[in-house]
């Protein structure tokens, strides 16, 4: 029987949408992440937002970590005041996921960081962000696409010889739903893909394959895009390798 690694998928909290349950808070993660992990050969487990002190135990229970998309990251994490166009932030989520990232790195558990997740990894490792791409003169591509999220809308340039280049073809099309982006890289990271206007679209570890981060949302494309599925299959392979090490 093929071993299925356990993949932790970061969750979030929202208020129940129906009137009679308005007082209830709900732990959730968008379905696409867990389904992509399942289809790729892993067993997904949603990690609820709780105390950062729980991070070490959570990470000890999983073989790999998916950091999901969501709110803007607080600029105070990289010593900046909030830009006029910054959107909602979640200090609680920032704190919990920061702890998860540090523990995953300490325990040697591979990370797939998606959109917000990639940005947070960069910040945790000492980098910073453009708080709003709309104010950057060189940004000429629509990074907050108006097409549905399951449609790829712009191309990326993949760095030759990068870890990502084994999974994603140069010039492939991706979806794009972000108004923030990496400005300066964190320690131990390299850029493995950019959009044609220069925005960083993917990062990875300088050494090894512990971290792979993508700015787009492959979990929304896996049903019809081989490169997107390859990103999740790669996480499963990295998790199995770490589990057997």
Candidate list 178, 204, 219, 227, residue with the active-site label: 219
Residues in Cβ contact with 1 at an 8 Å cutoff, skipping those fewer than 6 apart: none
Candidate list 143, 154, 179, 217, residue with the active-site label: 217
The answer to whether 54 is a known catalytic residue is: no
The answer to whether 217 is a known catalytic residue is: yes
Give which of 124, 99, 225 is closest to 167, Cα–Cα: 225
Q: Are 66 and 112 in contact (CB under 8 A)?
A: yes
Q: Which run of H or of E encompasses 65?
A: strand 64-67
Q: Which run of H or of E encompasses 121?
A: helix 116-124
Question: pLDDT tens for residues 39-58?
Answer: 999 999 999 999 999 999 99
What's the Cα-to-Cα distance from 94 to each of 40, 90, 172, 203, rounded to whole Å?
27, 6, 31, 19
Q: How confident is the model at residue 175 (pLDDT cuts 50, 70, 90)?
A: very high
Q: Which run of H or of E encompasses 203?
A: strand 200-205
Q: How confident is the model at residue 230 (pLDDT cuts 50, 70, 90)?
A: very high
Candidate list 103, 115, 154, 204, residue with the active-site label: 115
**How confident is the model at residue 22, as a pLDDT?**
64
Question: pLDDT tens for residues 107-153?
Answer: 999 999 999 999 999 999 999 999 999 989 899 999 999 999 999 99
Give which of 64, 80, 216, 95 is closest to 153, Cα–Cα: 216
- Burial degree of 231 (CB within 10 A; 0-12, 13-18, 19+): buried
Q: Which two tokens stand for residue 160?
A: 């030759």
**How confident is the model at residue 154, as a pLDDT?**
96
Look over the chain and give the mean of its residue pLDDT values, rounded to a whole number: 94
Q: What is the mean predicted confidence (pLDDT) over 209-237?
A: 95
Task: Please tell me which residue, 193 or 207, carries the higher pLDDT value.
Answer: 193
The answer to whether 103 is a known catalytic residue is: no
Task: Give the Cα separation of 158 and 233 in Å (integer).
Answer: 19
Can you say how many angstroms the Cα of residue 114 is from the centroid of all Cα atoms in its chain? 2
Q: What's the pTM value of the predicted model, to 2 decimals? A: 0.95
Structural domains in the chain, sorted by start: 6-244 (3.40.50.880)
Residues in Cβ contact with 78 at an 8 Å cutoff, skipping those fewer than 6 apart: 123, 127, 128, 129
On the question of pLDDT at 227 being above 60, the answer is yes
Query: Quick one: what percent of the chain has pLDDT higher than 90?
Result: 87
- Burial degree of 52 (CB within 10 A; 0-12, 13-18, 19+): middle
**How confident is the model at residue 21, as a pLDDT?**
65
């Amino acid at each position: 029987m093929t071993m299925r690694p356990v993949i932790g998928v970061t969750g979030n909290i929202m208020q129940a949408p129906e009137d009679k349950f308005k007082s209830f808070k709900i732990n959730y993660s968008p379905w696409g992440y867990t389904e992509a992990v399942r289809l790729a050969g892993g067993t997904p487990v949603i990690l609820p937002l709780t105390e950062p002190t729980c991070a070490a135990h959570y990470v000890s229970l999983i073989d790999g970590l998916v950091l999901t998309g969501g709110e803007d990251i607080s600029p105070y994490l990289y010593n900046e005041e909030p830009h006029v166009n910054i959107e909602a932030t979640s200090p609680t989520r920032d704190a919990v996921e920061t702890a998860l990232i540090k523990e995953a790195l300490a325990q040697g558990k591979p990370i797939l960081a998606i959109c917000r997740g990639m940005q947070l990894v960069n910040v945790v490792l000492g980098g910073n962000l453009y708080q709003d791409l709309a104010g950057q003169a060189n940004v000429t591509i629509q990074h907050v696409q108006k097409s549905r999220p399951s449609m790829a809308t712009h191309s990326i340039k993949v760095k030759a010889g990068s870890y990502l280049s084994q999974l994603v073809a140069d010039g492939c099309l991706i979806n794009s739903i972000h108004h923030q982006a990496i400005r300066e890289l964190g320690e131990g990271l390299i850029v493995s893909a950019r959009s044609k206007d220069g925005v960083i679209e993917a990062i990875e570890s300088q050494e090894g394959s512990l971290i792979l981060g993508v700015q787009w949302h492959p979990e929304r494309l896996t049903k019809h895009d081989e490169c997107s599925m390859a990103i999740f299959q790669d996480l499963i392979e990295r998790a199995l390798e770490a589990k057997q090490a």
